[in-house]
Amino acid sequence: MLINRNDDRGVLVFRWAARVLSVVSTAMLVLFITGEKFDVSRITAREWAGFALFPVGIVVGFAIGWWKEGLGGAITTLSLLAFYLVYGYLTRGKTNLGWAFVVFAFPGFLFLISWLLSFTRGRRIVTPGRDGALRHGH
């Protein structure tokens, strides 16, 4: 039997920080995208590939992270890495695109930390001993 101990304060702090910051980050990205006229016809295929990874992949990771923290954090992190690789290196010949993209994706890292904490601390296997008493194991 598994006992879920997700009431650990550290897990809750990271979980809610990730959630709140994911909403803030998403809102900021939406403001950037809608703040200027977005002429779809002028975007190249390479730019669409970059756009699919950042911000779309990042925001999809945030949304999934609300329910599945590990998966959402992984999607966000992999989208960011793929963005730097695909859009940065393959289309521009450099991976140095600055830190702003990492700042926007930061809630994804918090989702991963929350998931790791809840996975390592929050679940303990409970097995009955020979005398019938419950024993906690990892």
Confidence of residue 6 (pLDDT cuts 50, 70, 90): very low
Q: What pLDDT was estimated at residue 72?
A: 98
At 33-46, the pLDDT tens digits run 888 887 888 888 88
Confidence of residue 128 (pLDDT cuts 50, 70, 90): low
Output the average pLDDT for the chain.
Answer: 84
Which residues touch 111 (CB under 8 Å, ≥6 apart)? Answer: 15, 18, 22, 61, 62, 65, 69, 70, 72, 73, 76
Runs of H (alpha helix) within 1-138: 9-35, 45-51, 58-65, 69-82, 91-92, 100-121
Neighbours of 77 (CB within 10 A): 18
Q: What pLDDT was estimated at residue 113?
A: 95
Angle at 103 between CA 102 and CA 108, to 5 degrees: 75
Confidence of residue 3 (pLDDT cuts 50, 70, 90): very low
Give the whole-angstrom CA distance, residue 100 versus residue 102. Answer: 5
At 93-106, the pLDDT tens digits run 877 888 999 999 99
Angle at 96 between CA 115 and CA 51, to 5 degrees: 65
Note the pTM of the prediction, 2 decimals. Answer: 0.79
At 41-64, the pLDDT tens digits run 888 888 888 899 999 999 999 999
Amino acid at 66: W
Q: What pLDDT was estimated at residue 125?
A: 40
